């Protein structure tokens, strides 16, 4: 009986370890989530792998960016900023882009929620 | 069974505590400054307070260097009509360092080209190709050799205008890193709009991984550089540009000698080195120089590493950097040329 109890304890500890090690990934979308920040505030996190095709506007300080989600990717479709860098950056999401989309005049940032790099030079 | 449950509980607690202890405290700040988006991350017990100081310093420097703020040091110099202007030590130091870098790079970096940058519309978004006559006229109002600096007093000729945009973020990153080190931070990565400055290595003892943007698809990464205690800065033609009515693409980096946007077959130049200001100014200068001159320059000056991407997709990389690069697409390695 003692051996059996010991066996149960060992199994329980192994199971517990596995459980705890998996905690940090709970609740995180799997690799295809983006954070959308406007005016420095995080306004939402979208899991693109679950998202349906749609378009929406984000307004800040009188400026507007039209965001489009299509085929589990996201980009800035239209913007009233003077340089249009946010549009030129293109699509991000999945394996098709890991750089953040930044619109300086409209203070908009769309960035991968879990970029594997620590920083980016551009 | 009670004993088993207690043991299991203790095991769980010890594991949980172990996970927390192994992680260094981390502080992160995201904000807009110097006309760009910045992300500062620092590790250690004092990280939060240290980052607050670093952010304040960046904001202070923005107030000195801003070209659009009439009351900044640069704003006051630009409206001085040839009269001497008393400026802060930081601005004087940066103008002085820029001028030395201009001399060092044979004038390929020049903080006086602002009137031309403006004429091409890169400051307003009202893009237009100026006439040759206008470009020649404005070239007459440029030239770093005509900046006179004496202690904290600077004088530029009437009609001249300064813009520290090609070095300001590098300098700010350098200053922010100095402050973090003063506060005892030994592990941090500062991204000032793609101008990256690292302190030490990551808390787990591995190098920082800095992604280099693919100039042909700016939402993608072309490669990742592993660096420790270095600045990493890129200049390229893929982010700020316009296409004229005749379909020609004009990038925002102006060749100080011709007055025209650079069009020499380079798509981007990434520079890594110890000083953020040096790397920042050098990435612009090497981009203006073009492949041949930039490679020759590197042969003479070996205190930095570089990665050049040409418009036809070739990659030229210095040997020591090639040992710390990982390309996203393995097929790219066929186009890589390693230089000593």
Whole-angstrom distance, CA of residue A54 vs CA of residue B178: 46
Neighbours of B31 (CB within 10 A): 12
Here the CATH number for the domain that contains residue A95 is 2.60.320.10
Whole-angstrom distance, CA of residue B130 vs CA of residue B113: 14
DSSP A28: -
Q: What is the pLDDT of residue B174?
A: 97
Q: Give the position of tokens 């927390």.
A: B20
The stretch B218-240 carries a mean pLDDT of 94
The stretch A15-42 carries a mean pLDDT of 61
Under an 8 A CB cutoff, do A120 and B19 touch? Answer: no
Whole-angstrom distance, CA of residue B323 vs CA of residue B255: 32
Does A85 contact chain B (CB < 8 Å)? yes
C-alpha distances out from residue A44 to A34, A40, A100, B37, B178, Å:
8, 12, 15, 18, 34
What's the mean pLDDT when you consider all of chain B?
92
* pLDDT value at A115 more than 50: yes
Identify the helix (H) or strand (E) that includes residue B293.
Answer: helix B291-300
Both structure tokens of B132: 């040759």
Q: How many domains does chain A have?
A: 1
Q: Is B151 helix (H, G, I), strand (E, B) or coil?
A: coil
Under an 8 A CB cutoff, do A88 and B32 touch? Answer: no
* pLDDT value at B41 more than 80: yes
Q: What is the pLDDT of residue A12?
A: 53
Which residues of chain A does B126 touch, with a Cβ-Cβ cutoff of 8 Å? 82
Under an 8 A CB cutoff, do B220 and A109 touch? Answer: no
pLDDT digits (tens, 9 = 90+) for B166-202: 999 999 999 999 999 999 999 999 999 889 999 999 9
One DSSP character per residue, B222-252 reads: EEEEEESS-EEEEEESSSSEEE-TTS-EEES
Which residues of chain B does A9 touch, with a Cβ-Cβ cutoff of 8 Å? 4, 7-8
- Locate the chain B residue with the closest alpha carbon to A112: B219
pLDDT bin (cut points 50, 70, 90) of residue A117 is confident
Neighbours of B252 (CB within 10 A): 21
pLDDT bin (cut points 50, 70, 90) of residue A82 is confident
- Is residue A58 a part of any domain in this protein? yes
A91, A72 contact by CB (below 8 A): no
- Locate the chain B residue with the closest alpha carbon to A104: B36
- Is residue A68 a part of any domain in this protein? yes
Which residues of chain B does A97 touch, with a Cβ-Cβ cutoff of 8 Å? 217, 219-220
Q: What is the pLDDT of residue A48?
A: 92
pLDDT digits (tens, 9 = 90+) for A8-21: 555 555 544 444 43
pLDDT bin (cut points 50, 70, 90) of residue A40 is confident
Query: Looking at the partner chain, which of B11, B41, B234 has a beta carbon nearest the beta carbon of A13?
Result: B11
Under an 8 A CB cutoff, do A104 and B32 touch? Answer: yes
Q: Nearest 5°: CA angle at B122, between B116 and B123?
A: 95
* pLDDT value at B4 more than 70: no
Which residues of chain A does B219 touch, with a Cβ-Cβ cutoff of 8 Å? 75, 89-92, 96-99, 101
* pLDDT value at B140 more than 70: yes
CB crowding A20-51: b at 16 or more within 10 Å, else e: eeeeeeeeebeebbbbbbbeeeeeeebebeeb
- Locate the chain A residue with the closest alpha carbon to B213: A122
Under an 8 A CB cutoff, do A118 and B11 touch? Answer: no
B214, B220 contact by CB (below 8 A): yes
- Is residue A119 a part of any domain in this protein? no
Under an 8 A CB cutoff, do B125 and A82 touch? Answer: yes
Q: Give the position of tokens 């923005």.
A: B62
- Is residue A9 a part of any domain in this protein? no
Give which of B165, B188, B151 is closest to B46, Cα–Cα.
B188
- Locate the chain A residue with the closest alpha carbon to B39: A119
- Is residue A51 a part of any domain in this protein? yes
B233, A121 contact by CB (below 8 A): yes
| Non-local CB neighbours of B10 within 8 Å, separated by 6+ positions | none
Q: What is the pLDDT of residue B235?
A: 97
Under an 8 A CB cutoff, do A83 and B125 touch? Answer: yes
ipTM over 0.85: no
- Is residue A90 a part of any domain in this protein? yes
Query: Looking at the partner chain, which of A81, A100, A121 has a beta carbon nearest the beta carbon of B233?
Result: A121
- Locate the chain A residue with the closest alpha carbon to B270: A121
Under an 8 A CB cutoff, do B189 and A37 touch? Answer: no
CB pairs under 8 A between A and B: 123
pLDDT bin (cut points 50, 70, 90) of residue B16 is very low
Q: Which domain holds residue A35?
A: 31-112
pLDDT digits (tens, 9 = 90+) for B129-139: 999 999 999 99
The stretch B238-254 carries a mean pLDDT of 91
- Is residue A3 a part of any domain in this protein? no
Under an 8 A CB cutoff, do A90 and B219 touch? Answer: yes
Q: Is B24 helix (H, G, I), strand (E, B) or coil?
A: coil
Query: Which CATH number applies to B207-340?
Result: 3.10.520.10
Q: What is the pLDDT of residue A22?
A: 40
* Count of CA atoms in the C-beta half-sphere (13 A) of B319: 5
Q: Nearest 5°: CA angle at B243, between B237 and B249?
A: 45
Q: Give the position of tokens 């991407």.
A: B309
Give which of B321, B317, B301, B319 is closest to B309, Cα–Cα.
B317
Does A110 contact chain B (CB < 8 Å)? no
Give which of B1, B71, B61, B15 is closest to B36, Cα–Cα.
B61
Does A74 contact chain B (CB < 8 Å)? no
Decide: residue A18, CB within 10 A, 0-12 exposed, 13-18 middle, 19+ buried: exposed
Break chain B into its structural domains and give their ranges. Answer: 207-340
Both structure tokens of A54: 């749609």
B53, B188 contact by CB (below 8 A): no
Q: What is the pLDDT of residue B24?
A: 78
Whole-angstrom distance, CA of residue B240 vs CA of residue B169: 17
Q: What is the pLDDT of residue B61?
A: 98
The stretch B229-240 carries a mean pLDDT of 94
Which residues of chain A does B15 touch, with a Cβ-Cβ cutoff of 8 Å? 16-17, 20
Q: Is B196 helix (H, G, I), strand (E, B) or coil?
A: strand
Q: What is the pLDDT of residue B186?
A: 96
| Non-local CB neighbours of A9 within 8 Å, separated by 6+ positions | B4, B7, B8
Both structure tokens of B108: 């390929």
Under an 8 A CB cutoff, do B232 and A119 touch? Answer: yes
- Is residue A85 a part of any domain in this protein? yes
């Amino acid at each position: 009986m003692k051996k059996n109890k010991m066996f149960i304890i060992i199994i329980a500890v192994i199971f517990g370890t596995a459980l705890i090690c998996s905690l940090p990934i709970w609740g995180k979308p799997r690799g295809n989530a983006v954070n959308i920040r406007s005016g420095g505030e995080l306004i939402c996190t979208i899991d693109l792998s679950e998202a349906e095709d749609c378009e929406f506007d984000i307004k800040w300080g009188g400026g507007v960016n039209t965001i489009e989600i299509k085929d589990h990717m996201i980009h800035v479709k239209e913007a009233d900023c003077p340089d249009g860098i946010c549009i030129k950056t293109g699509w991000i999401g999945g394996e098709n882009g890991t750089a953040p989309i930044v619109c300086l005049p409209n203070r908009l940032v769309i960035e991968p929620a879990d970029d594997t790099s620590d920083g980016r030079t551009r | 069974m009670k004993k088993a449950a207690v043991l299991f509980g203790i095991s769980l607690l010890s594991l949980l505590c172990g996970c927390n202890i192994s992680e260094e405290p981390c502080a992160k700040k995201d904000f807009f400054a110097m006309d760009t988006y910045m992300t500062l991350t620092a590790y250690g017990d004092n990280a939060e307070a240290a980052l607050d100081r670093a952010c304040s310093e960046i904001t202070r420097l923005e107030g000195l260097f801003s070209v659009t703020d009439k009351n900044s040091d640069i704003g006051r110099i630009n409206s001085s009509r040839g009269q001497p202007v008393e400026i802060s030590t930081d601005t004087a130091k940066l103008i002085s360092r820029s001028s030395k870098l201009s001399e060092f790079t044979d004038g390929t970096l020049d903080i006086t080209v602002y009137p031309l940058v403006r004429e091409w519309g890169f400051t307003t978004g009202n893009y237009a190709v100026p006439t040759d006559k206008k470009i020649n006229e404005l070239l007459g109002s440029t030239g770093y050799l005509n900046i006179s600096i004496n202690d904290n007093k600077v004088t530029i000729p009437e009609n001249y205008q300064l813009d520290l945009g090609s070095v300001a973020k590098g300098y700010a990153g350098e200053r922010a890193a100095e402050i973090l080190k003063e506060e005892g931070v030994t592990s941090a990565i500062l991204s000032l709009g793609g101008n990256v400055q690292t302190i030490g290595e990551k808390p787990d003892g591995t190098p920082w991984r800095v992604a280099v943007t693919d100039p042909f698809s700016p939402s993608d990464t072309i490669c990742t550089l592993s660096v420790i205690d270095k600045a990493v800065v890129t200049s390229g033609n893929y982010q700020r540009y316009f296409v004229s009515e005749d379909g020609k693409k004009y990038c925002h980096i102006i060749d100080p000698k011709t007055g025209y946007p650079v069009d020499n077959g380079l798509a981007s130049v990434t520079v890594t080195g110890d000083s953020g200001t040096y790397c920042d100014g050098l990435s612009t200068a090497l981009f203006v120089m073009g492949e041949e001159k930039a490679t020759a320059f590197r042969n003479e000056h070996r205190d930095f590493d570089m990665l050049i991407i040409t418009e036809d997709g070739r990659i030229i990389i210095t040997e020591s950097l090639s040992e710390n690069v990982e390309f996203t697409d393995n097929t790219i390695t066929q186009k890589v040329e390693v230089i000593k």
